[in-house]
A and B are shown apart, each in its own frame.
Chain A
């Protein structure tokens, strides 16, 4: 199954379970306090996922390494490479 298929499958499964409990035939048997939570649940989940995404991307952005030492080391290596290659007769 494609990733798209897996997503649709998962959403359909969760969606129909939610619809059956919140709106459909099983509705009357769910105690009222639970129904009140159940009805807006998809929206809550969506918002929670959005928050999670923003927090994750934000955290990873803030902790993205700046490789200053790697850049400095590369410059050093480039200098050594140039000198050695010139000595071996390379015309740049």
Chain B
């Protein structure tokens, strides 16, 4: 399959204690890019993991080459937003993919993101768990209910024009992501939500691709009371300020 010669995808992988998963996700990324034929680079932003993530990342550089795998570590855990800013400084692609390094996002969807981007010349393509064949694996009923409920309230209050606001598997045009990073201030789940809301405000177009999200903590809910409270706070802040 021939890809646009000028297109290059930079994948940003923020990691913290992903020694087990990083080689696997990199292998899957390389394989899916080799299949689809797009040029790519993988930028690993490790926040000083104590488990040796960086050591395994160095091995991956030896295997795949320093033009494909770029290590841009930071000394300590500094949060997701700044990890993207940090990684983006070193990105040479015209598209940037952000995804989780814990295997909950399968790299096979990136080719679909690019296809979708071409189809509508979108500024952002967002993976969605809530549409079409999209879905989740490893969530119990309570987790699903919270997710669906929170999504409904968000849709009613913000009318964002995208179905999955808290997902973190997306493709951005590089300049669009740069612009959005200047505007967004929230953290955690709310950060992903703010990116979409600000994108709408700035008039960017958003395409959606259904994805399956395979949770690594099978059956167990990672969503605590604290996270729900901070989500609601963030939601109301966006409601009142955007």
A-side interface residues toward B, CB under 8 Å?
A: 2-4, 7, 53, 56-57, 60-61, 64-68, 70-71, 73-74, 77-78, 81-82, 84-85, 88-92
A67 to B130, CA, bound (A): 12
Q: Mark B155-199, 1 if CB is under 8 A from A, else 0.
A: 011110000000000000000000000000000000000000000
Which DSSP category, helix, strand, loop or mixed, fits chain B's interface? helix
- Minimum distance in angstroms from B162 CB to a CB of chain A: 15
Do residues B159 and A90 form an inter-chain contact, with CB atoms below 8 A? no
B241 CB–A CB distance under 8 Å: yes
Q: What residues of A have a CB within 8 angstroms of the CB of B159 in the complex?
A: 3
Instruction: Tell me whether A64 and B136 are in contact in the complex, defined as CB-CB below 8 angstroms, given that A74-B106, A78-B103, A90-B60 are known contacts.
Output: yes
A51 to B212, CA, bound (A): 29
* 23 A–B contacts from the bound complex (CB under 8 Å): A2-B240, A2-B242, A3-B159, A3-B240, A60-B148, A61-B145, A61-B148, A64-B144, A66-B135, A66-B137, A67-B135, A67-B137, A67-B214, A68-B137, A70-B137, A71-B137, A71-B138, A73-B106, A74-B103, A74-B106, A81-B27, A92-B20, A92-B56
Q: Which B-chain residue is minimally distant from A5 (CB atoms)?
A: B240
A77 to B109, CA, bound (A): 14
Q: What residues of B have a CB within 8 angstroms of the CB of A68 in the complex?
A: 137
Which DSSP category, helix, strand, loop or mixed, fits chain A's interface? helix
Do residues B157 and A3 form an inter-chain contact, with CB atoms below 8 A? yes
Do residues A4 and B214 form an inter-chain contact, with CB atoms below 8 A? no
A57 to B166, CA, bound (A): 17
**6 extra interchain contacts, Cβ-Cβ under 8 A, other than A3-B157, A64-B136?**
A7-B157, A67-B137, A70-B106, A70-B212, A77-B106, A92-B19
- Minimum distance in angstroms from B156 CB to a CB of chain A: 8
B37 CB–A CB distance under 8 Å: no
- Minimum distance in angstroms from B128 CB to a CB of chain A: 11
Do residues A82 and B130 form an inter-chain contact, with CB atoms below 8 A? no
Q: What residues of A have a CB within 8 angstroms of the CB of B106 in the complex?
A: 70, 73-74, 77
A61 to B145, CA, bound (A): 6
A41 to B87, CA, bound (A): 55
Q: Mark B216-242, 1 if CB is under 8 A from A, else 0.
A: 000000000000000000000011111
